[in-house]
Amino acid sequence: PSVFSAIEMAPRDPILGITEAFNADTNPNKINLGVGVYYDDNGKVPLLSCVQKAENMLIEQPAPRTYLPIEGLAAYDKAVQELVFGADSAVVQEKRAITVQALGGTGALKLGADFLKRFSPASEVYISDPSWENHRALFESAGFKVNNYAYYDPATHGVNFAGMLAALKAMPRGAIVVLHACCHNPTGADLTSQQWDQVIDAVVTAGLIPFLDMAYQGFGAGIAEDGAVVRRFAATGVPLLVSNSFSKSFSLYGERVGALSVVASSADEAARLLSQLKRVVRTNYSNPPVHGGKVVATVLATPELRQLWEEELAAMRVRIKATRDAFVQKLKEKAPGHDFEFVRQQVGMFSYSGLTKEQVAKLREQSIYAVDTGRICVAAMNSKNLDIVVDAIAKVL
């Protein structure tokens, strides 16, 4: 027997399992609501015009594929930092923020986790209950004990805010608290601005280390609105980590473009943090890939392309919102007596629909695929399949 012969099969990824079952389904009208991707009204992943135009500009100036610096393309890091914190913010002006290019939002979280494990090894990590399914595994793989804090309240389909606040206040000093900056995945339930005030206050008072995960900037209320929480945290002066992703907002999933930003208390401290963060990158993958970073940097730094991006992102956001409205309206007609009004209050790509595991299983018999938890991707619905989805849900209620 070799070292490999006793290795067991790893547990299946529940969402990939849905995709496999969906792919095997021969019904031509099958619909996959289990995905984590934005589809347009034709059911396609969009290729944004701003991205195509930036790629055309890059092709006109062919460049050799040298290594990027360890921390990524300088123009990218600068543009992303200004997007995340604001060019005129104190943290940017005072050079207290550092930003490194990362392999998507996942890569940014992993860099942050590895960095924290080196410099705050005794901390425990707290993630929302529930959270993006990879948060726990990712922080555990970096060596942390991972706990949940109260978040979702199935009774109201909203946030159990009292529970969340109590949990924050009970965390030990130095605990790492992972917060979804906007468009909570998987529930779609976000905090109000007043609730964020209280969360920020609790995090600062309790001496916690906030790690803001922003994977959906622009999918909620707008680019500035969705980013406001990050800026408010940055303004408090506490140590702060921010992971952000362009997978959704640029529809650049497979290019793996994201970034990790860390806020320090001085420019000198920031320089030391950057030097250490570069070691984390160096020992993991040396330096990031070129193409996606160049595309995003080009779009963000070219006024016409940036304008176009903001319009294209707004169109995605508006379509999701309109789909929520149409979904609720149609359910009102097809399933009177069942209240889905809460779906309108939820934000971003996802909705905890309130459908039970049994109802999800019955939907699957009608070739409609959702996650067992009842999570549906609102962006997987469109003007062609919405009636089919609503009729199927009405049948299983």
Q: Give the residue numbers annotated as catalytic, written as ranges.
A: 132, 213, 248
What single string gives the DSSP state of each residue in 6-43? TPPPPPPPHHHHHHHHHHH---TT-EE----S---TTS
Is 185 a binder of ligand PMP (CB under 6 A)? yes
User: Which of 34, 72, 104, 112 lies at the binding interface for ligand PMP (CB under 6 A)?
Assistant: 104
Binding flag, residue 215, ligand PMP (CB under 6 A): yes
Q: Which of 86, 105, 112, 292 binds ligand PMP (CB under 6 A)?
A: 105
- Where does this chain touch ligand PMP (CB under 6 A) — which range of 102-110, 221-229, 329-337, 358-366? 102-110
CB of 185 to ligand PMP, least distance (A): 4
Angle between helices 267-284 and 104-119 (to 10 degrees): 110
The first and second tokens of residue 107, run together, are 């890569």
| Per-residue burial over 146-177, b = 16 or more CB atoms within 10 Å of its CB, e = otherwise | beebbbbbeeebbbbbeebbebbeebeeebbb
Using rule CB under 6 A, residue 245 touches ligand PMP: yes
DSSP sequence for 275-289: HHHHHHHHHHTSS--
Residue 190 binds to ligand PMP (criterion: CB under 6 A): no
Which one of 76-84, 100-108, 226-234, 269-277 is the stretch in contact with ligand PMP (CB under 6 A)?
A: 100-108
Q: Pairing state of beta strands 146-150 and 125-129?
A: parallel
Q: How far apart are the first and last CA of the chain?
A: 53
What is the C-alpha to C-alpha distance for residues 89 and 369, in angstroms, rounded to an integer?
44
> Minimum CB separation from ligand PMP for residue 105, in Å?
3
Joined tokens for residue 299: 């779009």
Q: Does 101 bind ligand PMP (CB under 6 A)?
A: no
Residue 235: which residues within 8 A CB-CB, separation 6 or more?
A: 89, 90
Amino acid at 347: V
> Minimum distance from CB of 392 to ligand PMP (Å)?
25
Nearer to ligand PMP, 247 or 366 (CB): 247
- Of the two residues 105 and 130, which places its CB atom closer to ligand PMP in the complex? 105
Annotate each residue in 132-171 with x if it binds ligand PMP (CB under 6 A) or - if it does not, as one string.
x---------------------------------------
Q: Residue 106 Cβ, how far from ligand PMP at the closest point, in Å? A: 3
**What's 129's DSSP letter?**
E
> Any contact of residue 213 with ligand PMP (CB under 6 A)?
yes
Q: Which residues bind ligand PMP (CB under 6 A)?
A: 36, 104-106, 132, 180, 185, 213, 215, 245, 247, 258
